[in-house]
Amino acid sequence: MSWASNTVTLDEVSRTRSGGQAVGPMDAVRLMNQGALLVDVRSREEFEGGHVLDARHLPQEEVAGAAESLKKYRDKPVIVCCESGMRSGAAARVLKAQGFAKVVNLRGGLAAWRTENLPLVKGK
């Protein structure tokens, strides 16, 4: 087995663990400008401490029961985010299993968002 084929395998494992497809902050902005919903799965305290404008707060523990409240987005792009991309990866997998066709994870989470100097708002 060559090194290149090992890399592909590692990429596939990484993609599976992160909830499938992931987009960086700038691609997330483009998707949001085209009508994508951004779902922030962090805790209430984390969300109120700084979140993306127009993000919908949905704590990770509530994602499994949220299919009905998110149903109008079932066929639209949904971006899931957390602080680092780990919790949102799990949430993205849950949404995909519930039939949401265009779910992506924010690669690197809000840490990557801040690195790109993109704005956050505080409070509810």
Active site residues: 82
Q: What's the DSSP call for residue 22?
A: E
Q: Please identify which residue in the block is written with the tokens 């949102």.
A: 88
Q: What's the DSSP call for residue 83?
A: S
How many Cα atoms are found within 13 Å in the side-chain-facing hemisphere of 80? 30
Using alpha carbons only, give the angle 97, 64, 62 rounded to the nearest 5 degrees. 150
